[in-house]
Each structure stands twice: as C-alpha cells, then as structure tokens.
Structure 1
Amino acid sequence: MEGPRGLKKDELRSAAELANLVFRHDSPYKMEEEFPLLFSENNLENMRVFVDAGKVVSMVGMCINDVIIMGCMIGAVCIGSVCTHPEYRNKGLASKLLEDATNRAVQEGASLMLVSGDRGLYRRFGCVDAGIYRWYSIKRDQLEVHEKNLTLRKYGEKDVIELVKLHQLEPIRFIRTYEDFKTLLESKRLCDQISETYVVEQNGPVVAYVSLQLPRSRDLPLAILELAGSRVAILKTLRSLMDDVGTESAIVRTTTADVELDHLMVSAGAKRSTGGFMGTVKLIDIERFLESIDTYMTEVIGKRRRKNLSIKYEGKNSELSFTYMDQKFSIRGIDEITSFIFGSVEKQQKLKHANSELEDMLNSIFPMPLVDYGLNYV
C-alpha cells in the first residue's frame, strides 16, 4: 500500500469513484461535479491518499485558500471528502491522512483548518465547534414589494466580474480568483445542496448578489448562505426572490460582524437565532495565526497597550498566555484556544466579569468573527 501521499493525475477518477461510493452511492449527483475545485488536476497534491493495487482506498481532500477576517489575511485549509473504502476501514488510514494533510497545509502557510464534518475522527484530532453566526428566519408576508428601480434576476456569465468586485468588499471572506468564482457558480452547489445565484440591479448596475440553497418544496424555506453588496437591496428584493423560487419563507445566515444586515432583518420582523460553524474548526499553527491578526489586535486595543501585551504560545503544553503589566491569563489545549479565539455555541468562554485591564482587552479582541464557507464548501 502506498501513502500517505498526493494524488497522481491518472488516479483522479479512482478518487472520485471512492468519494461517490461513500457519499453518493444512491444519488444521481457526482462528487467531482459538485466540488470541481477539490477534484481538479490543479489540486492533486492536496488530495492526500492511500493507494492499494492502483486504487485509491482512503482519502482526505483539502483546498488551501487565503481568507480575509477583519482586514487580516489568514492562510486556511478546507478539509472535505474524507472517506475510506469499506474493506479498508478500522485501520487508522483516515487518521494518518488527516495528520499528513495538516502537515502539508502548515508547510503551505495555513494556520486555520475548517472541516465540513463533526464526527469523532475530527473531534479526536482536536477540531471543535467554533464560530458564532446569526440565522434570520422571515416569511414572505412580512416583506414589502420591492421598489421599481431594483431588478432581481439570476446571474449570468457576464455578471461574474461584478460578483468578484462585490465579494472583494466584504470584510470576512475567502479570497477567490475570477476563474475559481466562475467554476463554483457553474457547479450550482452550495454547502452540499442544489443552489442558484441571483443579482440585484439598481437602475442598471449590479449592487448585490445572493447565493442560496433551493428548497425541495414550497413549504420549505430558501436558504441564503452567501451574500455581498447592498443589504438594503437584498432585503427589498427578498420577497421577489421567494416568488421566483416558489416558497413562502427564507432563512439568511451571516456572521455576527454584519451589523447592517442584523438591523435590517430584525427591523423587518425576522426571527434571529445563533449557531456555530457548518462543521468543526482547529487552529493548526497558532503562532502564525497570531502574527496574522496582529494588525486587528492593534486596531482594537491601541498601539500602546498592544506594545505592552505579551502573547506566548508554548507548543509542548499547548498553552497560550497573555501577559500585560503584572496581569496574566492563560488557556491550555488547542481546542480551548480555538473556541476562545472564535467563540463557540458549545463553550461560552468570553470573560463575562472582566476584573482586570488585561481581561477587558481580551474581551475586546475575542471572540473574533470566523469566515463562513459560502461557495467554498468542500
């Protein structure tokens, strides 16, 4: 048996066959069509595999992307299509591949791991529920008919460049090339479901877009899982969007940093709830991650206090320590550190009763928003 190693070009079909056997055995859809950036000749080295007798028998797929969070560029790796052939299970192959994938991701500059799953394999590896997101639920009859100067329609190929530009303005996002954006839109998949993308024009120019999961029936809501541009335009055309899709309700998911959308949705009567990331999360290079967000921390607490704030990570004990003057605060365990930095619905670690200047600073910095998958789900 060969591995762990990267996938070879002539093994790409075998990798897709394994993924389809495990995840799509009773479905007409194909994994290689749903996740074109993952099952791509340009991504072979990031498909970590075990191969036996010329067949891929275990696989961990990953895409390495930079993300932007509050002005900071962070290297991220998205893990998906983790599977093992039934005849090769219970041999620890997936665990070895996950470790191998992590090592490669760190070598490629990633410090943040996003996993599209929550099973024991990932939990044992230190991945946790992290990130706090807002869900809004709203019905058609709560919304007004949109203004005449707004036009809602399905996106076309000529719109891709405008979508790229709108996406670039978002403070929390994946960095996508034009080519990748186009490929993801053409796949018509969003977080493992059939999707569609609509644009909103205002007197001609495109001012917003939404990517949504299409409901399976009229009594189910459409689900907007990626959006960019004018929140006002999105809300004012939401009723028309429901009509075009053929449903009576909608849910919208966004980060806690989207204060404008929060105000608009709540004012419109939407029900608001909170939830975690669509999978699990792990910081795989804490020192590099902290370097990446240094500008964010300095902006929040100021240059003087940042200069006097010492941050140290001790890898041997997995302990992160913050020291300010004679004050100290420590967290031990990568899972606890990840939950503290991004917040967690499972673990409420925010220092609710800050009794020192250090704890007050940490409450200002953390939790910081976590990027959401949107079209980049794997």
Structure 2
Amino acid sequence: MTDFRLVREVEYKQAIDLADKVFRKAGHVSMGTAFPQVFSAALNQSYGAFIDGKLVSFIGLVPSILHIGRAEVKAFSIGAVCTDPDYRKRGLANTLLQMIFEHINKSGASVLFVSGDLPIYLKQGCTHYGKMNQYKIHQGDLKVESSSYVIREMGQFDWFQLRKLSHERHVKYEQSIFELALLNEAAGFASIFKMKHKILVAKENEELKAFLVFGVPYESQGKADSRVIEWGGDPQAIPGLLAEAFTYDLNSLLFNVPAFEKDILSQLGALPMEELPFPGTMKIMDLDLLLSQLGPYFENKLTISGAEGQKELHFKQGTVTLSAKQLEEWIVKGSEDPDSQLKDIFPIPFPFPQGLNYV
C-alpha cells in the first residue's frame, strides 16, 4: 500500500538521497546543500509517496511572497520532483501533485510556479508565462565608459546595503538578509552547472549602488560559459559589473532580462538577443484571490469587476470584457494585440524564476 503525505523530519535524508540519485552526477553538490528550502523540516511543506516506509516519489514545495509594485502575492514553487526509477509509471507524482494543489488552496496562495514544463504539469493547467530578452554576452561585447563606480567583490560588511538594493527592486521575491546569505551560499540554480556564486558590487562615495550575482565553476575548467543569477540597483552600473565578471575567466555570460526591466534593457543597447518566455511554467490556483492580492498593483490603473466566469476591466480609456480564461491568459502572457491600451499592465511582471529563489 502506498502512503501519500507530508515528509517527516526524520525522512528528509531519504528525500535528499532520492533527489541526488535522480538529478546529480559526479562533481555535483548534493541537492540537500543546493536547495535547503526544499528539504526543510522547519518549513514542513514537501510531500512524498512511501511504500513500506521507503520514499519512492517526492515533490518539494516552497512558499514565498512576491512583491509586484506595492502588491504582495502569496505563491508556492515546486521543485526536485522525482520518482525512483523502479517505481515510475504508477501515477505517484500525479497523486502527489493533487495533494500539492489542495495544500496551496488551504494556505491562501494564489499561484504556483514550476521549474519545468513536462506534460504532467501542462495537463494540470500549468502554462508558460512572462517575456524576456536573452543575451549571450562575450568579453568585449560591452562598451563600458569610464564612471565613478568602484567595482569589487562583496565584502562581509555589505549585507545591509545589499539587502537595501534588493528591497528597492519594483518586482522581487521577499528576501531577508539571512535568506540572501543562505540562498547565495546554496547557489541552487548555478549548482546544476557545477557552479558557485560570486557577487560583485558597484560602489560610489562609500555607498553600494548595484550588485550582480553570477556563477563561476567549482574548479578551473578553462573558459567557462556562465550566467547571471540576480542583480539589483542602478541600471547604469550593470554593464560595468557584467564586464568585470569576465575577469573570472568566463567564455560567455547568459543574461536573461525580463521585458519589464526596461532600464536594464536600454543599458544593453543593440546587443544581439532572443525574445523568449520565462523558463518553467505557472498555474493560477485562484483567479479571484490573485486579483485581490494584485489590488495595489492595479490601483489608479485598472479596476476589475464581474462574476466568476466573466470579468470587466475598467480603465481610463474604456472597458474590456473578458472571460476568466482570457483574463488568465492576459495575466501570464499579455494581450496578443500589440496596440493594446493595457500592454503596460499585462502580462503581470512576475519575478524571474531562475534567481536566488529558484526551486
């Protein structure tokens, strides 16, 4: 008989071992090290399927608060989804996913983010979302003019200022100083590529003006293909930070910039890029709850009324009537009409998922 339930404190070692078996190879750090929030007995959110006391399928579940302007959106993310190869094709993960949905609804969260886009998620209503520009930068691509910024590695006395820069971002995950330190050390997303983090900061008049988190290999492997993990602060300082990253023996630097980060995009100028949706998928768990949580974001821009199946969007230039399904599509992907008067509101600017808070 299979027992589907929350993973207990003494069972997280089994969860880590299973995730390492499925996802890790020689040279990788353990999933337990890279994703402490997923395997946290203190949070006690992750689910497993047990047969005779053995954990055979696992889904990590992590709660978070998203700040979108003045709005606070309650969200969950799932990751480290794995099933022992000997127990696959039994529907175990699908059963766990239904329990995850119930957990989310009871918790008051309105959205779920998934790091993948496998059929198991798409069949359950998860969808691609967001828009971004992907840049693959090489040394010399950035023409950085001289500036008053002093660029260096982050030091032990910088946490308050780094948290301030992180907090000032218009769109972000809520992060305490401890979370910033913990997730930087864990380097979850970078660990997939056998990398750890470096943080560079731009300083002016004894004040940090910007920061950049990027990956560097665990061991020297010649010129490495790296990627930017997270950034914040003065957009004008970002090109200098990107250029400085190449002093760490990088071959290239992948930089995924959300389309709503217009100030950063303007700093990158005419660099070659590719327009893509965000990586991963998301599911709106409760549309009305999400609209309520987004209320401060819509304030002075838009009001939404209507019953469950149909919504009216009232704005300065007029009114648009959408089905609930159409509104969900606008929320995650925006209107297909390039001349839409609401293009500055939709899609909703959700935080980029492959940053420090990647699950």
* Residue 261 (1) aligns with residue 260 (2): no
* Residue 171 (1) aligns with residue 170 (2): yes
The amino acid that maps onto 2:321 is F
Distance 1:323 1:65, change over 3 A: closer
Give structure 1 regions of 4+ aligned residues with deviation exceeding 6 angstroms.
none
Sequence identity of aligned pairs in percent?
A: 25
* Residue 206 (1) aligns with residue 192 (2): no
- Deviation, structure 1 residue 213: 2.7
Which residue of structure 2 aligns with residue 377 of structure 1?
Answer: 358
Which residue of structure 2 aligns with residue 142 of structure 1?
Answer: 141
Distance in 2, matches of 1:143 and 1:198, equals 17
The count of aligned residue pairs is: 351
- Deviation, structure 1 residue 70: 2.5
Which residue of structure 2 aligns with residue 228 of structure 1?
Answer: 232
* Residue 343 (1) aligns with residue 342 (2): no
Which residue of structure 2 aligns with residue 251 of structure 1?
Answer: 254
**Which 5+ residue runs of structure 2 have no aligned equivalent?**
none
The amino acid that maps onto 2:349 is P
Which residue of structure 1 aligns with residue 100 of structure 2?
Answer: 101
- Residues 288-310 of structure 1: CA distance to partner in whole angstroms, max 9, x if unpaired? 10111122223224xxxx3xx52
- Deviation, structure 1 residue 180: 1.6
Partner of 2:96: helix, strand, or coil? helix
Distance in 2, matches of 1:159 and 1:329, equals 49
Question: Is the 8 Å Cα contact of residues 187 and 356 (structure 2) preserved in structure 1?
Answer: no
Question: Is the 8 Å Cα contact of residues 128 and 332 (structure 2) preserved in structure 1?
Answer: no
CA RMSD of aligned residues (A): 2.6
**Which 5+ residue runs of structure 1 have no aligned equivalent?**
315-319, 355-359
* Residue 151 (1) aligns with residue 150 (2): yes
The amino acid that maps onto 1:339 is E
Report which of the two has the higher share of helix: 1
Distance 1:299 1:4, change over 3 A: farther
Q: When the two structures are superposed, what TM-score results if normalisation uses the length of structure 2? A: 0.88
- Residues 311-351 of structure 1: CA distance to partner in whole angstroms, max 9, x if unpaired? 4323xxxxx43266996633364xx654321217xxxx433
- Residues 243-265 of structure 1: CA distance to partner in whole angstroms, max 9, x if unpaired? 2x112543322222212111111
Which residue of structure 2 aligns with residue 65 of structure 1?
Answer: 64
Which residue of structure 2 aligns with residue 357 of structure 1?
Answer: none
Pairing 1:72-87 to 2, within 5 Å after superposition: 72-87=71-86
